[in-house]
């Protein structure tokens, strides 16, 4: 199929958040309506419709320092294997190229096989883990921390500024930023599970202790996207009842930007980096 065949690629607006949520829900992803609102308000979301129905999407979310994240590449089960995802990712890449942006994404293993030949370079490997039944306890909850402290640590780790994104997360009902022993993490709601991340720490043992304290003060299922190279942290999570759901490969298209000064223990999510 030629790129010009089939229904056109269009830009979506904030009025499309419910239709986007329907696609991510169909795929059993954890995004909320508020997540979609971030992409539609602060980024560029491309879509393809079949009549009035939205059947495929891809988003480009810009960050500082000429960086952008490609995510929300979704195709309804009724419209797969028609090249729709390729057309939408091409639209994201072309938009990034015209703006001089380095593009990043977190790919599934199958996705990495597609993005590699396009010129994406592998960087971090991630592992998504889930804790289905946190065990609440009477142990003291971790201390609250400030958004300024979280954003400062995030800039060190990512090399670019995501203050707007992290502030939007932190201001949602149910969100909290917690810290202990030099560690800091954000906890927020998802559609089916609460999400921990980003999480920064100086030592794996302290990161594990903070995750344990978070889990002990939660009642809903939890997700965390751990950095695979933090092997002691990853092993500690699985030993304490977390199960690995799937891997992701972080990839970059374009020149390297500001060098990261530390490696996070967990990220904000494959859709946000």
pTM above 0.85, yes or no: yes
Domains of the chain: 10-100 (3.40.630.30), 127-267 (3.40.630.90)
Tell me how many degrees the CA angle 126-139-193 measures, rounded to the nearest 5. Answer: 40
Q: What is the pLDDT along the chain (273 residues), one digit of tens a residue?
A: 344 568 999 999 999 999 999 999 999 999 999 999 999 999 999 999 999 999 999 999 999 989 999 999 999 999 999 999 999 999 999 999 999 999 999 999 988 988 999 899 999 999 999 999 888 776 677 889 999 999 999 999 988 899 999 999 999 999 999 999 999 999 999 999 999 999 999 999 999 999 999 999 999 999 999 999 999 999 999 999 999 999 999 999 988 877 778 899 999 999 999
Which residue is associated with the tokens 């594990």?
Answer: 208
CA distance 6 to 182: 53
């Amino acid at each position: 199929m030629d790129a010009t065949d089939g229904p056109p690629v269009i830009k979506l607006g904030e009025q499309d958040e419910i239709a986007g949520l329907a696609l991510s829900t169909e795929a059993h992803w954890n995004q909320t309506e508020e997540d979609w609102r971030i992409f539609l308000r602060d980024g560029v979301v491309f879509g393809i419709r079949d009549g009035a129905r939205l059947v495929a999407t891809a988003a480009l979310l810009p960050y500082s320092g000429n960086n952008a994240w490609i995510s929300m590449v979704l195709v309804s089960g009724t419209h797969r294997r028609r090249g729709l995802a390729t057309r939408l990712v091409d639209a994201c890449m072309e938009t990034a190229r015209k703006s001089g942006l380095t593009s990043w994404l977190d790919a599934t293993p199958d996705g990495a096989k597609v993005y590699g030949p396009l010129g994406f370079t592998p960087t971090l490997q991630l592992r998504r883990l889930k804790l289905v039944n946190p065990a609440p306890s009477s142990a003291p909850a971790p201390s609250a921390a400030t958004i300024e402290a979280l954003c400062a640590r995030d800039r060190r780790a990512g090399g670019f500024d995501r203050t707007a994104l992290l502030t939007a997360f932190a201001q949602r009902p149910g969100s909290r930023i917690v810290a202990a022993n030099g560690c800091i993490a954000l906890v927020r709601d998802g559609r089916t599970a609460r999400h921990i991340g980003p999480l920064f720490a100086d030592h794996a043992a302290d990161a594990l202790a903070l995750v344990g304290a978070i889990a002990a003060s939660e009642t809903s299922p939890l997700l965390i996207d751990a950095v695979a190279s933090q092997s002691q942290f990853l092993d500690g999570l699985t030993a304490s009842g977390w199960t690995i759901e799937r891997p992701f490969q972080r990839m970059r298209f374009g020149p390297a930007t500001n060098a990261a000064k530390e490696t996070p223990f967990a990220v904000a999510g494959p859709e946000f980096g």
